[in-house]
Amino acid sequence: MPETTSDDRLTPDLWRRVDAYLTETLVGHEAGLDDAVADQSAAGLPPIEVAPVNGKLLHLIARMSGARRVLEIGTLGAYSTIWLARAVPADGRVVTIEAEPHIADIARANLDRAGVGEKVDILLGRGADVLPTLVDQEPFDLVFIDADKESNTIYIDWAARLGRAGTVVVVDNTVRGGEVANPATENPQIIGVQRGLEMLGRDPRFDATAIQTLDAKGYDGIALALVV
Ligand SMILES: C[S@@+](CC[C@H](N)C(=O)[O-])C[C@H]1O[C@@H](n2cnc3c(N)ncnc32)[C@H](O)[C@@H]1O
């Protein structure tokens, strides 16, 4: 009889228990972050913020790369923004772009309550319209892309233009339950993710990889790129 492999045992129940264990063990709970998710939910916004383990991953990537200026596209209730703002130094800045005014209001309240409001600019508008207005700013050290997936190639292009050699780019939701590997997909969001990954693989401005993730948000992944 073949030995049971870990693949055979991989069920949603197992990976959810592992995610809960990792979250409790390595991330824990903190009022500013937990309250942001609670308020976002009470306001009827969808639970599409990054999972706690990935919020902490973003935070650590920002600190490991010494990021002082961070650009985020897609704010929602500012859960990931709070993680990022806590990673930049006192003179650092997080610029986050949100298309919906009522969502930006919720994000602002959550950032202020978490004590990081002074480090964060929320720019209201569609990413593709707002990004060109940032060309005169100092380059960003880290760019986190987490908005409408159909626009990923536009956002990845701007990440290079608004960054510098050494800028780190993180693109969220790059596996989407495995659909990213479906060449016949007609889902415009999946096609947007595929085009973004293909761009990262082919565009000489980037060196990139991706990791698959199983966490509170299900089976998904992130792409990680360096502007070279
Ligand atoms: C996945 S949520 C962001 C989650 C957040 N980064 C977090 O992890 O807590 C995506 C957000 O992008 C916003 N959005 C959608 N299309 C956009 C666009 N074209 N420009 C800017 N924001 C957009 C949505 O309103 C939503 O709040």
Going by C-beta distance under 8 Å and a sequence separation of 6 or more, which residues neighbour residue 196? 145, 149, 152, 153, 155, 156, 171, 174, 223
Q: State residue 158's pLDDT score.
A: 98
| Gap from CA of 4 to ligand 1 centroid (Å) | 41
Q: State residue 7's pLDDT score.
A: 75
| Gap from CA of 59 to ligand 1 centroid (Å) | 18
Q: State residue 2's pLDDT score.
A: 56
Q: Which residues line ligand 1 (CB under 6 A)?
A: 48-50, 73-76, 79-80, 97-100, 103, 126-127, 146-148, 151
Pocket test for ligand 1, best of 72, 75, 142 (most atoms within 8 A of CB): 75
| Gap from CA of 62 to ligand 1 centroid (Å) | 20
Of 26, 88, 36, nearest in space to 56 by CA: 26
pLDDT tens track, the chain, 228 positions: 555 567 788 899 999 999 999 999 999 999 999 999 999 999 999 999 999 999 999 999 999 999 999 999 999 999 999 999 999 999 999 999 999 999 999 999 999 999 999 999 999 999 999 999 999 999 999 999 999 999 999 999 999 999 999 999 999 999 999 999 999 999 999 999 999 999 999 999 999 999 999 998 999 999 999 999
Residue-wise pLDDT tens digits, 46-83: 999 999 999 999 999 999 999 999 999 999 999 999 99
Torsions phi, psi for 68 (to 5 deg): -110, -30
| Gap from CA of 200 to ligand 1 centroid (Å) | 21
Q: What separation in angstroms does the CA of 36 have from each of 18, 28, 43?
A: 24, 15, 11
Report yes or no on whether pTM surpasses 0.75: yes
Q: State residue 127's pLDDT score.
A: 98
Torsions phi, psi for 173 (to 5 deg): 60, 50
Pocket test for ligand 1, best of 79, 100, 176 (most atoms within 8 A of CB): 100
- Written as six digits, the tokens of 27 are 């991330």
| Gap from CA of 29 to ligand 1 centroid (Å) | 24
